[in-house]
């Protein structure tokens, strides 16, 4: 099956070619493709798992709603320049 994640090509070969990557992002919302990729991808282990855990620990537990709204507005303004 062809994957719309053009950077990795077809799912099976994309997973193999991405062996040096810890994560593969698949963001188009096609649940069939996301399941196919998730089924083909191995679970994180070793150093990759430790890096992922460290990254998760860096995520703030609480979100400041005012700061979030300000950052969202700034992003919208920046993206409007490309519309």
Residue 3's pLDDT is 44
Q: How far, in Å, CA of 74 to CA of 72, rounded?
A: 5
Residue 15's pLDDT is 53
Provide the whole-model pTM.
Answer: 0.44
Which tens digit of pLDDT belongs to each residue from 31-82?
888 888 888 888 889 998 999 999 889 887 788 899 999 999 999 999 998 8
Residue 75's pLDDT is 94
Q: How far, in Å, CA of 49 to CA of 60, rounded?
A: 19
What is the average pLDDT across 3-32? 64
Per 3-state DSSP, the chain is made up of helix, strand and coil in percentages (nearest 5) of 55, 0, 45
The distance in angstroms from the start CA to the end CA of the chain is 33
Q: Does residue 28 have a pLDDT over 80? A: no
């Amino acid at each position: 099956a062809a994957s719309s994640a053009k950077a990795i090509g077809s799912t099976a070969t994309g997973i193999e070619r991405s062996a040096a990557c810890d994560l593969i992002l698949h963001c188009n919302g096609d649940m069939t493709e996301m399941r196919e990729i998730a089924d083909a991808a191995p679970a994180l282990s070793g150093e990759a798992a430790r890096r992922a855990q460290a990254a998760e620990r860096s995520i703030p537990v609480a979100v400041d709603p005012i700061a979030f709204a300000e950052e969202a507005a700034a992003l919208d303004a920046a993206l409007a320049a490309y519309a």
